[in-house]
Structure 1
């Protein structure tokens, strides 16, 4: 920053301050004029040099001249004496005092061009100092990136050099680190992606223009943060695997949410979640799983099921039952060209319910569009929006103190021994027959594809279906019976 006092202190110019302004104004440029109103061409911070050619010593328009420059926020007025006026006119001094605009005298031996050159030299020297300072900050940031540097320390260094408040945001929009003055509610925030996936971002708050040196410091800091957060790939892979196993345990009902304390004691899991099934090409699924993640965005898991078609893969994600969280998850999935099935909301301890509801709707997704259609808009299916009749039935059985027991009673009345609430059959046989019945429904009743999906002979499938019809006392050739059996299976999924 070049202040007016720096210019006035140059002995070879012989400048004399006549009227001080508010503080020591910063200089940005010099302009010479004899116009009465130059304000619309000024941006603020300029020194206006004039000899008062168009006004005599008592002209009242001196007040208007100074008023217009005050509105334009000029740094000062430099008046050259000995050309048109032997001394600075009294009305000009009075107006400068009234509007608090700095006024200095330029003696006759000093040409205006000398003042302009002096300001240019001061600005050039200041730019060199700023560039050297910015280079030193960048060097410190780069040196620290080779050591054990905390992201908060990097943010503090950037903030000190730029005067901005900053925060490091994770892939789930949580604040991983920030300076003390940063607030998530601020509106004047610029976001800088720290990786190609836009999963990790640097938030820079403030509406004052950044200098070129400030921008270079932020650029260097962004590179350092990106390198630091990518870190050791081997450890990152191990950490990712631990979170995936934890997520899989929640989805399958074999784990407890309390186990998250082992992975991260400070993480707060949401009370209610949605399981999201994601389907796409094997390459797209792999790329989606590899993106940098943090916070709750790490609740992903590969599918243990066989692909529904060659070339396709399936993965799962648990996200908070919040509109913003689901929208962000679907936005990221769409960016990887993945179709999605959003499961019903459920308590996180009962994530299996949401998982089953999404799993049951997977057949709604196309098996060919991800492989052969381009460009395309990824499909999104909502388990609780795209099956209204089923949801109405589920809602009707969700009132009262024991909704799960009520749904179990309804499903048992239809499935009989095939119900998981029944004890008439061995668990292995019950699971086998239920899987067979579900496979037939998913194959639209076609027994050939159903047998192929199950990996059994058509005659084996026929024998199993005969046993199912005998146990449930319902016929698969009757549409009413088929509807009851399907709804009973779905009720069990939600129980």
Structure 2
């Protein structure tokens, strides 16, 4: 901004500062007047020039004159000497001191128009500097649309240039990125795509300068270009992310491979695998939302029996709630796996798989009102989690407990023990089906697709191999616990 000190430094004017105001006032305009009451016509930041035609040298009215200009927050008073007064009147000088309003002397033969032109020149130079600065910001913002600059960095650049707080919104109220201190209330929304699903929210008070408006326009264009570019190649890009996510979840690729598709993408210290289940159209709508960073780690959609579909997503292990909320907003059911290091994602997948049977299934799709069902593998099984924390060695902890109960049916035995049961998986699935059907053998046999007599023979083998009877509540509890511990471990 143009300031009073810059005006006083113009050598051709010969202005003399008689009384300083608070700081170095910024100039907005210049006005010439001989009126005594001018405050109602001012907006603040003006220089008021006068020759004192209406007041005498000792008139006490000078105090009221200065008081009114002080209330109007003028930048300074310029007094022209040698026309109506040979010197600046003492009451004017005292009033300027009392109200802390800057006062300077304009000597003869300097005309007021020369001061006005000087102020106009300073304002014009300031506007040019602001325009050049805004242009540089705009160029950086537009360049970011072709580069890999994060949306949060784009928002920070806009905020620094305009003093506004901004956020990038998706859907009704999901915040993809924002500047620090952004408050949604009262924010202006700018659509970045044709359907309005992606918007730029702008918060802040006071009028925007033309340069600030142009910076926001350039930033909106940069963000919009980036989004449209992403959507233009969305199908191929999604296929790449699906393939990569599937390989990471099954342990084929290390989690760090994600940097291949997004250089600079850093996975959090802990992650979780989330199974998302629901109607195929709801899964599709959830997947189509704009995504950034780790949110893009979504596997391919799997069609299930009964008109259901399922997909897997990798989320932040310490802060999974935003991703979970986004899934629930689409009316989708989900199972959140245990928090693990990125290298342990297959363990998180297994913990989620073990709880999939607890999801409500197809019937929930038609419930009114529809309510998403969320299961947390670690939060909903605190006792099992406590046991798992004991360790995973063959000598102690969950593995040792499961081996003690299941014997030849345990995973530890299957890992190389000569005494392992060759039909271990078949018998463990039978045992799990019995538990899922609350011990009712008819539904269990139907779920397995076998005859009741075949089920009875398998139960006899299970009881012989484990040394436990399914007719005993205590034995059933031990067998259930051993199976669940192995699934989570």
Same fold at TM > 0.5: yes
- The 5-angstrom pairing of residues 66-465 of structure 1 reads 66=66, 69-70=69-70, 73-77=73-77, 89-96=89-96, 99-102=100-103, 148=146, 151=149, 155=154, 162=161, 186-187=180-181, 210-231=208-229, 233=231, 235-260=233-258, 262-264=260-262, 266-302=264-300, 304=302, 307=304, 310-322=306-318, 325-367=319-361, 371-387=365-381, 391-399=382-390, 402=393, 406-423=397-414, 424-425=419-420, 429-447=423-441, 449-456=443-450, 460-465=454-459
Farther off after superposition, 290-299 or 41-50: 41-50
| Offset from partner CA, 1:44-77 (integer Å, 9 cap, x none) | 3245588979976435574575367447532234
- TM-superposed deviation, 1:23: 5.3
Q: Name the SS of the counterpart of 1:371 in structure 2.
A: helix
Checking the alignment, whether the CA contact within 8 Å between 1:168 and 1:200 is kept in structure 2 is no
- Residues in 1 aligned to 2:148 and 2:301: alpha-carbon distance in whole angstroms: 35
| Offset from partner CA, 1:161-182 (integer Å, 9 cap, x none) | 945699998999998xxxxxxx
- Residues in 2 aligned to 1:152 and 1:400: alpha-carbon distance in whole angstroms: 41
Instruction: Tell me what 2:479 maps to.
Output: 485
With over 3 angstroms needed to count, the CA separation of the structure-2 counterparts of 1:90 and 1:316, relative to structure 1, is same
- TM-superposed deviation, 1:276: 2.2
- TM-superposed deviation, 1:149: 5.4
- Residues in 2 aligned to 1:208 and 1:404: alpha-carbon distance in whole angstroms: 69
- TM-superposed deviation, 1:83: 12
Q: Name the SS of the counterpart of 1:422 in structure 2.
A: helix
- The 5-angstrom pairing of residues 465-480 of structure 1 reads 465-480=459-474
Q: Name the SS of the counterpart of 1:231 in structure 2.
A: helix
With over 3 angstroms needed to count, the CA separation of the structure-2 counterparts of 1:152 and 1:343, relative to structure 1, is closer
Checking the alignment, whether the CA contact within 8 Å between 1:407 and 1:491 is kept in structure 2 is yes
Farther off after superposition, 124-133 or 362-371: 124-133
- TM-superposed deviation, 1:97: 6.3
- Residues in 2 aligned to 1:223 and 1:83: alpha-carbon distance in whole angstroms: 56
Checking the alignment, whether the CA contact within 8 Å between 2:437 and 2:444 is kept in structure 1 is yes
Checking the alignment, whether the CA contact within 8 Å between 1:337 and 1:370 is kept in structure 2 is no
Normalised TM-score (structure 1): 0.69
- TM-superposed deviation, 1:141: 8.5
- Residues in 2 aligned to 1:72 and 1:483: alpha-carbon distance in whole angstroms: 82
With over 3 angstroms needed to count, the CA separation of the structure-2 counterparts of 1:276 and 1:100, relative to structure 1, is same
Checking the alignment, whether the CA contact within 8 Å between 2:388 and 2:398 is kept in structure 1 is yes
- TM-superposed deviation, 1:492: 0.1
Please give the root-mean-square deviation of Cα atoms over the aligned residues, in Å: 5.6
Q: How many residues align?
A: 466
Farther off after superposition, 71-80 or 436-445: 71-80
